[in-house]
Amino acid sequence: MEEIEVMKRALTLLAAVVLAGCSGNAATAAPTATPAAPAATPASNSTSVAVQSAAAAAASAGIESATVTDTTDAITVWIDQPRQPVVDGFVKKYPQYASLIKSTIVDRETLPAKTLLFNNTGSGWPDVVFAEPRLVARVSDAAHAFPLDLTSLVPADMQKQYAAQDNCTFSGKVYCLRNDLAQMVTYYNAPLFTQFGYQVPTTFEEMQALSDKVAKDHPGYYLGTLGDGWTWLSYFEASGCPYANVKDVGTLQINVSDPTCTRAAQLIDHMVANKTLWNTDYFGASWVQIANNNKLLMLIAPIWAALGTFKGTYYCPCTGATTKTTPTITDKFLGVAAPLKWAADATAQTAAMGGSAWVISQHTKNPGLSLLFAEYATQDPDLWKGSSNFPAFTPLQPLFNATVKDDPIFASDPTAAFAKAATEISPVGDNWPRFDLIAPLNTVVKDMYSKKQTMVATLPEVTTVLKPLAEAQGYNVTP
Amino acid sequence: MRSPSSSPSAEDLPLATPIAPAALPLTRRSRLSRLGVGWRRHRISYLLILPYMIFMAIFGIGPALYALLMSFSKFSMGTPQYFAAGLDNYKLAYGDARFFQVFGNLLEFLIISVPLGIALVVLLALLLDMRPGRFSSTLRLLYFIPGAVTGPALVLLVICIADPGISPFGPIFNFLGATNFDALVFPGSLPFVFTIMGFFSGAGMWIAIQHGGLQGMSREVLEAAELEGCNAWQKALYIKLPFMRPYIVYQTILIFALNVQLFVEPQLLTSTWVQANVPPQWAPNQLAYSYAFDVGNFGAAAALSLLMLGIGLAGGYVLIRWTGFFKLEGQS
């Protein structure tokens, strides 16, 4: 999936960023969770001292507090390539458990199918898996019965420090620990906005009005793109459309005639008609070319796109062909604004594209070590320092802010917009049902273009395509 | 039971030729048992097909029986609870909103791919036979080569060819107005796309088989036709084609069965890396797969698989009876 590719690129570029700029932010990067004592530790390089002080810091700060009682059972961790530093870091910080960690790189989309096979053979489950809450949803039903209930294993006040943890909670049980969030924000090209004399919109109505101005005065500039399920969600979840609203474990609401759906569809039709909306996903070659030609005026995209996509794909140095007008990553082009809202709504809502978690199997033989690993992966300050992912663990968020604040790609400090967006993740959207939504929504979007009809006319297809999938999973579909 | 009175001839199917029975001494046991006589006479035949029957029992009939068992089992807990589901799995699978869609898609695909595939293969085999020699055998080899590549690899190749951005036929597609992948691969064009994918990979083998069958024709008949004044096309149409009839029926049965099982091509197109405008479940096998591995309901998947098996068997039976496929010369 795209976010895997982007995560890969994000962390490759992260290495470059860290190497280039890590010297600058040591002093400002002290996370709030670490008390003063370790900072005063002299530059002693002895591992045992470092481990001791880290453990002391952790214990006194209340992070990574899981107790490991079983020191003989190994655990299997399923990761993807960008998560390799997590395993390496854990082994370095807890060398006493190094021999007990076995990690494999597995495509996590296979988790639901593999769980069923393991259930039937009676063995083979991994102990810890790096997977998005939507995948955890798919393995939480009675047939899969994969996750371990963490409600009583993780202290309540530690649980409270995770943002968007509701999406890891299923029927009141905590099935995963959020790793990062991928909320969507509004990116815009700051110099172009100033040059054209435009105000950055705060509502969708303002964006629609802006699209008319752009179409009239500056045709060829784009305010967004719609080409796949994710870009579809960037508009429809932001509107609160109940396209697949999980009401409870057995009921799914699919109602695309709701006014919140029609208003998003009408906005899309308006922007397609005045040619300010492009027709591919975030990584489509033609869209990347538009960005390289500096015609990307505005885009609703996830938080990781800033350092993961704008840097290196849309803005250059990048992998594609550059033109004379291609923005560079140090030109302070990228403005970030909080998510747009509809004027009639009280607050804004925004979609999230990705944002993963760590789930522990209920068949694990070593829950203590599995939990310690998951806690380390989500809470360790040294691991998260310099990361371009937005941590779900709130005490780590200042680290992220420090990383982005000084990045020369941003026109101004984006941290306030990112933090605001994190609180506005759509409740409809981030709580996924037990089946994949993106592949069916891809076909809906592509049908709209191939049949040359409006999004309003194509909306009933969402029901046609999602209803059988829901019923096959045992949901009772209500309007 | 085959009548041993007719001796095998070139017109007969090379598949199962009866062996002329050797003269057996009539022992006391065989005098008492008529069945014993029959068995003794044909025991070599039974012995020869025994390995096939064993494997068919283990890998063909056995799984089908197990699927029957699973179709009545409940899978809501992940592992099977035998006989707990009654007819629920059948109701769920056959009542699925996608059920008629997927079978409709399959019917469309069969109507296009089976006649087209057979007609083209027969045409090519006849053409090759018209000009025997090195040129013909080289072409036969060239046709056969794609068959050596595994199905999924060919599918990925066709996917690349269908993308005007990277395809060698890109300029032609652009000229015809198709500028991106979605313009060429969309739900309406899928039967043709899959026909193309299947044809170029499988045609070579069938051309070789049909051509091989044609070699069994008696030369006298062809020479007689030439003397009568037949040109090459008339020979092909009126002499060779009727002769090839059993082979064509054989090919029809197998291509029908193969195409009913269509799975790899649509499944690869729906994968997230390709992002085609293709419904996630287009063919019936994909629906069964989805029930098994997306939902975990192996019972519903078994119900669908048994339906597919029924269709294949019924189709094969109808074709065999209708064409008298297994009849020998001289039998009514």
A224-282 pLDDT, tens digit each:
999 999 999 999 999 999 999 988 878 999 999 999 999 999 999 999 999 999 999 99
Q: Note the ipTM here.
A: 0.72
Dist. CA B96–CA B295, nearest whole Å: 13
Does any domain span residue A405?
Answer: no
Does any domain span residue A401?
Answer: no
Backbone angles phi, psi at A101, to 5 degrees: -100, 120
Enter the tokens of residue A264.
């998003």
Residue B277 confidence class, pLDDT cut points 50, 70, 90: confident
A59 vs A73, more confident:
A73
> What pLDDT score does A61 carry?
55
Report which of A254, A304, A280 is spatially closest to residue A428, judged by C-alpha positions.
A254
> What pLDDT score does B218 carry?
83
What is the number of domains present in chain A? 2
Structure confidence by residue, pLDDT tens digits, B108-127: 999 999 999 999 999 988 88
Percentage of residues in chain B with pLDDT exceeding 70? 86
> What pLDDT score does B38 carry?
66
Whether B78 and A144 lie within 8 Å, measured CB to CB: yes
Interface membership of A120 toward B (CB under 8 Å): yes
Chain B residue at shortest CA distance from A122? B79
| Alpha-carbon distances, residue B68 vs B63, B129, B178, B304, B305 (angstroms) | 8, 47, 47, 10, 9
Stretch among A14-23, A331-340, B59-68, B159-168 having the lowest mean pLDDT: A14-23
Does any domain span residue A98?
Answer: yes
B274 contacts A2 by C-beta, under 8 angstroms:
no
Question: Do residues A366 and A443 both lie within one domain?
Answer: no
Give the DSSP per-residue string, A97-141: GGGGEEEEE--GGGHHHHHHHHHHHT----SEEEE-HHHHHHT-S
The alpha-carbon gap from B283 to the nearest alpha carbon of chain A, in Å, equals 15
- Which residue, chain included where needed, has tokens 């299947």? B198
Q: Does B214 score more than 60 pLDDT?
A: yes
Question: Do residues A171 and A60 both lie within one domain?
Answer: yes
Residues of B in contact with A464 (CB under 8 A): 97
Question: Do residues A303 and A169 both lie within one domain?
Answer: no
Residue A111 sits in which domain range?
2-29+51-181+353-392
Mean pLDDT over residues B83-108, rounded? Answer: 91
Nearest 5°: the CA angle A168, B280, B116 is 165
Burial of A56 (0-12, 13-18, 19+ CB in 10 A): middle
> What pLDDT score does B37 carry?
64
Does any domain span residue A399?
Answer: no
Among B278, B279, B296, the residue with its CB nearest the CB of A143 is B296
Question: Do residues A364 and A262 both lie within one domain?
Answer: no
- Dihedral over Cα of A135, A138, A144, A146: its sign: positive
Question: Do residues A198 and A346 both lie within one domain?
Answer: yes
Question: Do residues A252 and A362 both lie within one domain?
Answer: no
> What pLDDT score does B328 carry?
65
Dist. CA B15–CA A425, nearest whole Å: 66
Does any domain span residue A261?
Answer: yes
Question: Do residues A23 and A104 both lie within one domain?
Answer: yes
Report which of A33, A93, A31, A175 is spatially closest to residue A372, judged by C-alpha positions.
A93
- Dihedral over Cα of B33, B37, B39, B40: its sign: positive
Stretch among A127-136, A408-417, B196-205 having the lowest mean pLDDT: B196-205
B246 vs A6, more confident:
B246
Among B77, B182, B280, the residue with its CB nearest the CB of A450 is B182
Which residues are bridge partners to B81 per DSSP?
B74
Mean pLDDT is highest, among A136-140, A202-206, B41-45, for A202-206
> What pLDDT score does B330 carry?
53
Question: Do residues A429 and A464 both lie within one domain?
Answer: yes
Structure confidence by residue, pLDDT tens digits, A153-176: 999 889 889 988 888 888 889 999
Query: Which residue ranges form the domains of chain B, and what is each CATH number?
Result: 98-323 (1.10.3720.10)
Report which of A313, A323, A322 is spatially closest to residue A282, judged by C-alpha positions.
A313
> What pLDDT score does A387 carry?
84
> What pLDDT score does A322 carry?
67
Dist. CA B289–CA B282, nearest whole Å: 11
Q: Does A13 score more than 60 pLDDT?
A: no
A178 contacts A357 by C-beta, under 8 angstroms:
yes
Question: Do residues A237 and A214 both lie within one domain?
Answer: yes
A192 contacts A294 by C-beta, under 8 angstroms:
yes
What three-state secondary structure class fits B200?
Answer: helix
Decide: pTM greater than 0.95.
Answer: no
Does any domain span residue A412?
Answer: no
Interface membership of B8 toward A (CB under 8 Å): no
Question: Do residues A149 and A223 both lie within one domain?
Answer: no
Among A228, A464, A472, the residue with its CB nearest the CB of B295 is A472
Interface membership of B90 toward A (CB under 8 Å): no
B91 vs A27, more confident:
B91
Interface membership of A283 toward B (CB under 8 Å): no
Does any domain span residue A441?
Answer: yes
Residues in chain B: 332
Whether B277 and A446 lie within 8 Å, measured CB to CB: yes
Half-sphere exposure of A171 (CA within 13 A, CB side): 12
Question: Do residues A272 and A306 both lie within one domain?
Answer: yes
Question: The domain spanning residue A202 has which CATH number?
Answer: 3.40.190.10
Question: Do residues A245 and A265 both lie within one domain?
Answer: yes
Does any domain span residue A35?
Answer: no
Mean pLDDT over residues A184-200, rounded? Answer: 94
